[in-house]
Structure 1
Amino acid sequence: MPSIVDQIPASLRDRFVADFRHGKYSLLLGAGASCDSTDSSGRNLPLAAGLTTEINDISGTRQSNLADAYDIAIERNPKLLEEYFASRFTNCQPSPWMNKIRSCIWKRIWTLNVDDVVEQVYGDPNGQGQLLSASYSWTDDIVDDFGLQVVHLHGKVRPGSPLDLVFSITDYVNTIENKRSWIPLFFNSWVGSPFITIGATLFAEYDLARAIRVKQPIGKSPSLYITRTIRDDMREQLEIRNLVGIELDASSAAEELFDLTSETRQTARYQWQSTAAASHHIATFASRFDILSLNDSYSPPGHDFFLGFEPLWDDAVNRKIAAFDWHESIGKKVEADLAGGMRQCMHVVFSSNLSGKTCGAYSSAIRLVEAGYSVFKFRGEQTIDVSSTIAVLEGRGPSLLLYDGVADFSQDVYMLLEEAERRNVKIVVLALERSSRRQIVIEDIPAKYLTVHDRHSVTGLDRLSRRSARILVEHVRRHGRYARFHGMGTASLVNQWENRNVFDVMSELEFGQGYRDRIRPQFEALPDDNARLVVFLASFLNSFGYAMPIFLTQSIGVQSRDFRNLSKAREFTELVSIEGGRLTCRYRSSAINSIRAAIHEDVIINALISMMVSLAPYVNRRTRKTRNLEYRILRATMRARGLMSVVRKSKLEYIYDEIAEAYSHESAFWEQRSIACQLAGNYVSATSYAAKAVDLAPKDVRRRTTFGRLLILRSYNDVKPGSPESWDLYGQGRDELIAAESLTPNNGVVLLNRFRQTLLLYRELISRAVDECDFQDDFTALEADIATIYKSCLDSSSLRQTAEYNTVSELYGLFMQLRFVRTGEFDTIQSRHVLSRQPPSIGEW
C-alpha cells in the first residue's frame, strides 16, 4: 500500500513534511481511532452500531439510530446511563499505535470521542513526546493553556458528573449555537491551519458536516484524511473540500508519522527538553518558547526574506540579514550581562514600525548562540508561567529570552525577573517594541532591571546611517538581489539610501523606485472588494504588530473556497504573504493610508465591526489572563485612537454602538468608548462611560487613570476654569488619579498624567485671568498640588534613570515659567509665548 507521502500530490509533499516535523499540524480523531483500544475490562471500545446496541440494552429500547437511543435512555434512566459511560469509557487501555502518535509533535489534538484514550496514552510516565497539559470538553471556556491540549468536541465522560455528551440532534444543535464553546474555534482552526484526520467520518457528523462542507482548509499545507479505504464518491467530496485522501490503516499511518519525526526528535529544538526539570514545567515552558539553534532553523517553502516576508531565525542563520553596527553593539551589551555576575536585566529596543528591530535581535542572538548561551524566543501566543520558566532555566546556566513585541507581556517579564532575582537564577531578556508603546514597558519594568536602546542612544536604529547604508549595499550585492540598481556605484547607492527606513530601501531594491506610488493601482487591481478588504484588514492589524489569522476573513464574508482562489492570485500574493495560517502584508503594502483611500469608509466600518464581533468567543476570564493572540487583536482594534487611524472620529460612536451587545461586560470597551466620546468633544457621555469602566474594574489602574485624567481635562476644557464646577471636577479627578497611584505605588504614567493635566488647568486659569474665585488661595492650593506631584515624580523609581525622567523636568520647567507669567515677571511677548506652549505629551495605554 502506498505511503502517506506517496499519496500526497508531489507539489505539496515537501511542505507537508517540513510543517509536520515542526509541529504545525493539529490531529482530529474519530471513533475509528479508538476502536482498537479497550475499556478497563479489556473489551474493545464500540463504534456507533455497537454503542447503539449497548444503550438499547440499558433502556430496553429497540432503536437503530444512536441519537434516538441516547435521547430515550437519558430520559428513562440517566443515572444508569452515567454509570455505563463511566465504566465503559474511562480508564481505557490505548492501542499500541497510539504511542507512536504521542511521539509526534502536535499543535492541538481534537477528538470526537468521549473516551479517555488520549489522556491515558499521554499519561503513561514511560511514554516519549509532548506532555499533555489540559483536557477540555466542548462546553468548557476557550483557553490557550500551557502545553498540548486535547479538546473533546462531543464531550467527555467525567465520572460523578452529569453527561455533557453530544449524541442527539438537540445536542448537535446546541453545539452549533453555542458561540462561546470550542466548536467555533475548531472551525476557525480547520480553515486556517493544517489537520490530520484519523478515524472520523466527518460528513456524517451532523454538527461538523454543516461547517466542513463550507469551511475548507485554505492554508498552503495539505490537510490529510486518513482511513483504510476511500470510496470514489467520498474521494470526490474530499477533493472539492481541499482535503487529501490517504488510504491507510491507522496503525501503519502512525508508524509512518513516527518515522517522519524521528529526525526532529534528535534536534536541539526537541532534545533540550530533556533538561533536569519536572515534566509539567518543561511542557509549560516549551509551549511558550522555542530554542534558537544554529543547526535546527526552519523556513517554510516559498519564504523569501528579500521579497518582504517576515524575518525568521533561519534568515539570520543563513546570513540573509545584513549585520549593522547597532546589532553588534546591542549584542555585546547583552553578552556582557550574560557573562557578568548574578544579575537579572532586560534590554529593550524601541523604534518605529518596520525599522528592522526583529532582524537586529536575530543578528545579536547569532552572536550569543555562537558564544554558547541558551537563547529562547518567546512565541507571543499567550502569557508565560513564571514558576515553570524559572524551574527550566535555573539548571541551564545564563540564558537569554527574546521577546518580539513585549508591551502586552511586560508585567509578566517583571514578575519573572523579580522571581529570578529572589532565586538567584541568571536570566537576561532582550525585548523589542514599537516606540508608540514605550510608556507601557517603562511603566511595568522597574528601572533597576531596565536598559533602554532607542534612537537617542543607538545610531542608525530608526533610519540608516551612512555606514549602515554602505553595509546594506555590500550585503545585497553578495546575495545578488540588486538587479534594479545594477550599474549604480556604491557611493550613489549610499547617498540614496542614507537616512531612510531600511524596509523602504529593501522594498525599492526588489520592486524598483517609485514602488509606493504603485501600491494603490495594484491594490485596486485585486479581483474584488472582498479581496481589497482582506488586504486592508491585514495591513490594519499588522500596524499593531499582529499577523491576521486567516479565519477572520470569514467575518467579512470571504468563504474558504473564495479565499483559496484568492490566495493563488498573483495580485494578492504580491501584497500579502501567508504563513502559519496568518496573513502578513509585504512591507511595500504597509502604506495603510494608500490602501484605506481606495475603500469607502462605510465598508471599512462594517468590516471592522464584523471582525470585532467575530472575536467575542475568545474573550473570557481565562483568555484575559493568558492574553492569547485573538484577545490581543481585539484589544488593539477596539482602541479608539487605533480606529481613528482608519475612520473619522465622528464615526466611532456608531462602531461602539454596534459591538456593545458583544462587549458591554468588558471594562476595556467602556474605557475606549469614553475616549472616543472625549475625542469627539462629548464630555458628558465620555465621563459616564469612563465611570462605567471603573465600576466594572475598580482595581484596574489604567481604567482609573483614564477616568481621573478625563475629569481634570473637563475642569479646564468643558467648563469655565475656576468655576465651582471646575474645582469639583478637578477634585474628583485628582482623587481618582491618587487612587490609581495607590494601586501601583511607583506608577510613573499616573504621576505624569496628573502632572500634565494639573499644569494645563493651571495654564488655563492664568490665560483666562480668572476673577470669579479667590485668585490667590486657589492658585496657592494648585501650586501646592503641583509641587507635591513634582516631588513624587522625583521619588518614583519607575521614572528615575529613564528617558521619561526628562519629561518631569520639562513639565516643572513649564510650571516655573507659568508662575513667572502669573507674578508679572515676564513681559507681554514672553508671557504670550509661554502660554502658547504645550506640555510634553504622555504615553497612552
Structure 2
Amino acid sequence: MNEDIKAALTTGRLTLFLGAGASKSCKSRTGVPLLDGGQLAEALATEAALPYEQESLSVVYSAARSKLQSRLDNFLESKFRHARPSPEYLALAEFAWRRIYTLNIDDALDKALAQRSKQNVETFIAGDSIKNQDQVFERLDYIKLNGSIDRLSDGIIFSSAEYAKATGKALPWYEQTASDFVENTFLFVGTKLDEPLLKFHIERYKEINGKKNGVSFVMTPNASEIQRIDLASYNIFHISGTLLDFTNWLNSNFKKPISAWDLATESIPQLAVLKSDAAKAPGYAALFENVTLVRPDFLPRETTNVSDGQIRDFYKGFYPTWDDILNQIPAELDVLQAILSALDNLTQNACILPIIGPAGSGKSTALMQVALRLSVRPDQAVYHIAEPVDDLLGTLKAIEEACTDNIKRIYVAIDNLDAFSDDLVVALSHRQVSRIYFIGAERENVWARKTKSKLRRFGAKEVVISEFSHADAIKLLEKIQEYGSWTRLGKLTPEARIDELMIRSRKQLLIALWEATAGIGYEKIIQKDYRSLQTDNDRIFMLIIGLATVNRAFVPAELLNRTLIQLGLLRQAPSLLENLAGIVRAENGKYSVRHPIYARYLMDKIVDPILTERAVKALLGAFSIYPAPVIQHISKKEARIYKGIINHNFLRNVLHGKKKVILGLYQSLEKKFERDGMFWLQYGLCYRDFGEDDAALEKLRVACEAYRMPHTEHAFAQQLLIIAPKLDDEIIAFEYLSEARAILLRLDSSIDSDDIFPICTLAEGEVRVVHRFHGDGEARMKAAEYAKELRARLRQTDGDQYMNTMRQRLTSFASSGKWVENSANSEN
C-alpha cells in the first residue's frame, strides 16, 4: 500500500470499488465458496443442460436466461443469497467509508455491514435515485452496480445485452460513479482488468478527465507489464495483492478502525473542539455542516499560495474568504463600530441585530469582520452560517451544548437572514435557546418586504449599510493600493482619488469599487468579461454556476458534475474552469460566480435567453434524478437552488419574458418531474403569468394531485377565484367559489403564503364573483364584512402590511364602489 491511499482513506476521499475477486473467501448458505465468474458460467451451463466450452459469463448467462427463464432466478438465489461474509469483509465493515461500489450481486458484504458497520448503511442499485453524499459520513452509500440478489425483479447485469443497455441508459448511479471518479480516489479490489464494466468505467474516466487525471489504484494478484502501462496512462496504478492483503494493511496501520466521527472532524475541523459527550451522539456532526466556528486558529485558510503582488479576488468583486478577513484584505469601515455598539445592547427579548442594505453594499463582509472581532473575547463564542442548514433548531441547541459554562454570550452570525427566518421564529417563540444572540445580514428590499414582519418582535433596531464616509474612502484607497488594481487610481492625485470614490459612493460599495478601479461603468466591465469568453461551452458553464449565485447559493461539485453530464461537458470541466478564472471561484468543492449583482446583470442584459434556457434545463435535469417531491430529498442549500430556478417569476425574468421559450422549458420537463408538486405549481403559475387561465388551472390541479401542500392548494384556490368571475355560467362560477372557499378557510388558520394570507385571497375573490353575478350593492356589503374581519385579524398579526392594504382596499370599495387594483396579489 502507499501514503496516497492512506491519506485518501483518513480524509474520507477513498471510494472502494469491489469486484468478484473480493468475495473469493465468502461462503454460500451451504458453506461452499461463492462462485467466481468462470465457475458461475460453468454452473449456469450445467443448470441449463448446455455444453460448456469456456465461453464468457456474459455469453453463457444470456443463453441460460433464454432457456431457463424465471427458473434462473431461483438458481441464482441458491448460490448468492444468504451468503456468509469473509473475515476480510467483516474487517472492512469495521471502518467508515465514503462510498462502496461493487459489481457483485451476492449479499455477503450486506451481511458484514449489517453486523459490524457503525454507519447507517443504505443500499442502492444502478437505477435507484441518487442521494447526495453525507458530508459527515454518518450514512454509508453502498451501490451494487450489477444488481442485487434480493432485487432480481429490478434486473441484473451479466449478459452483453444487459451491459449494453446499462451503458446506453442514463442510470443515476452510473452517472454518480463518473462524478466520483473526478472528485475522489478509487481503490479497485478483486476486479479482472479485462472486465467489460470496469473497462467501461476506465474509458469513461479517461474521457471525463482528459490529461488531468486524479490518482486511483487497482489491486489484483498480478498484472502484465502491458496492463500496467495501459492503466498508468489513465493514472490508475496497479498494486499486487488481494483483499486480505488490504485488510491486513488496515489492521497494521490503524490501532482502531477509522470512525465516521474521525472522517467528520477531518472534514469539519471545528467539530474536534466540541464537547466529547455530546459529539458522539447520532446526527450530532451533521448539525454543524455549513457552520463555521469563528476562531482564528480554526478558520479555513487558503490552500494555494497567493503572491504579495497579486490582485486579490475580493477586489475583483468576489465575496471575501475567511483568509481575506484574517489578513484584513477588506477595509474595516466606520459602520463596523456601529454594529459592535449595537450588539452590546442586545437582550434576550431583542436578540437579533439585522444588518441591512442594498446588494453589494458590504453586508456579508461586515458580518464576517464583526464575527472575527467578537471571537477574541474570552467569555464569548461565535459561529457563522452562510448557507442553509437542514435543522436550524437542532444546530442552535448543539451550539449551546458545545459551549462550556464559562461562555456567557454566544453569537451566531447569519448571512441571508430571510432564509432562516421561519426556523428562527420557532426557536425563539418557545425560548429553546437562551445564550445565543443573532447578527443577520439581509438585502434591504427583502427585509422590508418579507423578513421584518416575521422577526421584528425579536429584533433590535436594524443597522443600515448604505453610503460610505470620507474616512471610509481613505481606508478603501489604502487597501486598493495594496491589494487591488491601482493602475488607474495611481495616476490621480490623492484628492482626485477620494473624489472618484465619493462620487461613485452613491451606488453600492461593490459597484463603486469596480468602477473606480476600472474607470468605466460596471455594465461595461461585465460586458467586457462576457465577450472574453471564447465558446458557448464557456458561457453555459458560467451560466450554470451563475443561476445558483443569483439565488445566493453555491453549486456543490456533485450537482455541477451531474449538470455537466446532462450537457456532455463533464470531461471539459477542468479547462472550462481555467477559462473562467476571475469570473468563477472554486472553493472547498463549491462554485460561485463573482457576485449575485454580476450574475443577474449578465442574465438580464447580456446573455441570449436561449443559452440561459439550456443551462436551466440541464441544472433542473440534474435534480430530476431525485424521488418526488424533490424538495424533500435534497439539502436546504440545494433546495435554495432548485426552488430558485424553477420559480415562474425567476424564469420569466432571466428568459426575458419569452413565452414560447419559458413554456417550452416547462413542457420539456413534464415527464422528468411528473410527480413533483412544486414543478407543477410553478408550471401552473407560469401559465397564469401569460393569462392562460384554463391551462393554469389544469396544471395547478395536477400539482395538488402530485403533492398536496399549503402553497399549492392556495395557488389552486386562487386560480379558481381568478376564473370564476370571468365565466358566463353562474352555477359553475359559484361551484368554483365554493371549492375555493373550502380550501382557503381550511388553510386560513395555519399558513400565510409569501405574505399573502388565505383570508385575503378569499375576500378579494369572493367580492369579485359576487359583483359579477349579484351586482354592486351585494358585493359592497360582502366587502364590508371582510374588511371588518381583517380589522380584527390585524390586531392579532401585529399589523401585517399586506393584510392592512387588503383591508383598505375592501373598505374603499365598500364605501365608494371603486376597487383599487394591486399587483401584489399574485402568488410567488
Query: Cα–Cα, structure 1 residues 632 and 328, in superposed 2: closer, same or farther, change >3 Å?
Result: same
2:309 paired residue number: none
Query: Contact 1:417/1:427 (CA < 8 Å) preserved in 2?
Result: no
Verify: 1:323 aligned to 2:332, yes or no. yes
Query: Contact 1:403/1:431 (CA < 8 Å) preserved in 2?
Result: yes
Shift of 1:377: 4.6
Alignment of 1:288-303 (within 5 A): 289-298=291-300, 299-301=302-304
Verify: 1:285 aligned to 2:287, yes or no. yes
1:826 paired residue number: none
2:717 paired residue number: 708
Query: Contact 1:31/1:199 (CA < 8 Å) preserved in 2?
Result: yes
2:122 paired residue number: 135
Query: Cα–Cα, structure 1 residues 534 and 792, in superposed 2: closer, same or farther, change >3 Å?
Result: same
2:144 paired residue number: 154
Matches of 1:20 and 1:336 in 2, distance apart?
48
The one-character-per-residue Cα deviations of 1:648-667 (angstroms, maximum 9, x if unpaired) are 24222222221112122222
1:784 paired residue number: 785
Shift of 1:579: 3.5
Question: Mean Cα displacement is larger for which, 608-617 or 676-685?
Answer: 608-617
Question: Where do 5+ consecutive residues of structure 1 fail to align?
Answer: 6-15, 126-130, 823-830
Of 732, 740, 755 in structure 1, the residue corresponding to residue 760 of structure 2 is: 755
2:625 paired residue number: 617
2:17 paired residue number: 29
Matches of 2:623 and 2:60 in 1, distance apart?
37
Matches of 2:536 and 2:170 in 1, distance apart?
28
Query: Contact 1:668/1:693 (CA < 8 Å) preserved in 2?
Result: yes
Of 565, 571, 590 in structure 2, the residue corresponding to residue 561 of structure 1 is: 571
Query: Contact 1:157/1:165 (CA < 8 Å) preserved in 2?
Result: yes
Shift of 1:584: 1.9
SS class of match (1:168): coil
SS class of match (1:617): coil
Give, as a single letter, the amino acid of the residue that structure 2 aligns with 1:197: L
1:585 paired residue number: 593
Q: How many residues align?
A: 782
SS class of match (1:136): strand
Query: Cα–Cα, structure 1 residues 119 and 211, in superposed 2: closer, same or farther, change >3 Å?
Result: same
Alignment of 1:512-523 (within 5 A): 513-514=520-521, 516-523=523-530
Shift of 1:246: 7.5
Matches of 2:625 and 2:107 in 1, distance apart?
26
Query: Cα–Cα, structure 1 residues 288 and 541, in superposed 2: closer, same or farther, change >3 Å?
Result: closer
Matches of 1:223 and 1:79 in 2, distance apart?
42
Matches of 2:681 and 2:704 in 1, distance apart?
8
Shift of 1:680: 1.0
1:197 paired residue number: 187
SS class of match (1:135): strand
Query: Contact 1:470/1:494 (CA < 8 Å) preserved in 2?
Result: no
Verify: 1:459 aligned to 2:464, yes or no. yes
SS class of match (2:650): helix
Query: Contact 1:37/1:95 (CA < 8 Å) preserved in 2?
Result: no
2:584 paired residue number: 576
TM-score, length basis structure 2: 0.77
Question: Mean Cα displacement is larger for which, 654-663 or 688-697?
Answer: 688-697
Query: Contact 1:143/1:622 (CA < 8 Å) preserved in 2?
Result: no
Query: Contact 1:375/1:402 (CA < 8 Å) preserved in 2?
Result: yes
The one-character-per-residue Cα deviations of 1:264-321 (angstroms, maximum 9, x if unpaired) are 5995443437343543132433456454432133234378433444433333233334
Matches of 2:365 and 2:664 in 1, distance apart?
40
Query: Cα–Cα, structure 1 residues 702 and 54, in superposed 2: closer, same or farther, change >3 Å?
Result: same
1:534 paired residue number: 541
Give, as a single letter, the amino acid of the residue that structure 1 aligns with 2:824: S
Alignment of 1:197-276 (within 5 A): 197-199=187-189, 204=194, 206-207=196-197, 209-210=199-200, 212-214=202-204, 216=207, 223-227=214-218, 243=235, 245=237, 268-272=270-274, 274-276=276-278
Query: Contact 1:136/1:151 (CA < 8 Å) preserved in 2?
Result: yes
Alignment of 1:294-693 (within 5 A): 294-298=296-300, 299-301=302-304, 304-327=313-336, 329-330=338-339, 352-372=358-378, 373-378=380-385, 380=387, 383-384=390-391, 390=397, 393-394=400-401, 396-397=403-404, 399-405=410-416, 411-412=422-423, 414=425, 421=431, 426-428=435-437, 430-432=439-441, 442=451, 450-451=458-459, 457-460=462-465, 464=468, 468-477=472-481, 479=483, 482-486=486-490, 487-489=492-494, 491-508=498-515, 511=518, 513-514=520-521, 516-548=523-555, 549-554=559-564, 557-569=567-579, 572-587=580-595, 590-594=598-602, 599-621=607-629, 624-627=632-635, 630=638, 632-647=640-655, 648-651=657-660, 652-693=662-703
Query: Contact 1:123/1:132 (CA < 8 Å) preserved in 2?
Result: no
Identity %: 15
RCO (CA 8 Å, sep 6+): is it higher in 1 or 2? 1
Matches of 2:769 and 2:341 in 1, distance apart?
49
Give, as a single letter, the amino acid of the residue that structure 1 aligns with 2:561: F
Shift of 1:581: 4.6
Verify: 1:697 aligned to 2:707, yes or no. yes
Shift of 1:779: 0.6
Query: Cα–Cα, structure 1 residues 315 and 637, in superposed 2: closer, same or farther, change >3 Å?
Result: same
Shift of 1:221: 9.1
Query: Contact 2:23/2:86 (CA < 8 Å) preserved in 1?
Result: no
2:310 paired residue number: none
Matches of 1:320 and 1:425 in 2, distance apart?
35
Shift of 1:182: 3.0
Give, as a single letter, the amino acid of the residue that structure 1 aligns with 2:284: I
Query: Contact 1:400/1:429 (CA < 8 Å) preserved in 2?
Result: yes
Alignment of 1:766-805 (within 5 A): 773-796=774-797, 800=798, 805=800
Alignment of 1:176-191 (within 5 A): 176=167, 179=170, 181-191=172-182
Shift of 1:778: 2.3
Query: Cα–Cα, structure 1 residues 411 and 820, in superposed 2: closer, same or farther, change >3 Å?
Result: closer
Query: Contact 1:694/1:703 (CA < 8 Å) preserved in 2?
Result: yes
Give, as a single letter, the amino acid of the residue that structure 1 aligns with 2:489: F
Matches of 1:431 and 1:91 in 2, distance apart?
54
Give, as a single letter, the amino acid of the residue that structure 2 aligns with 1:740: L
SS class of match (1:584): strand
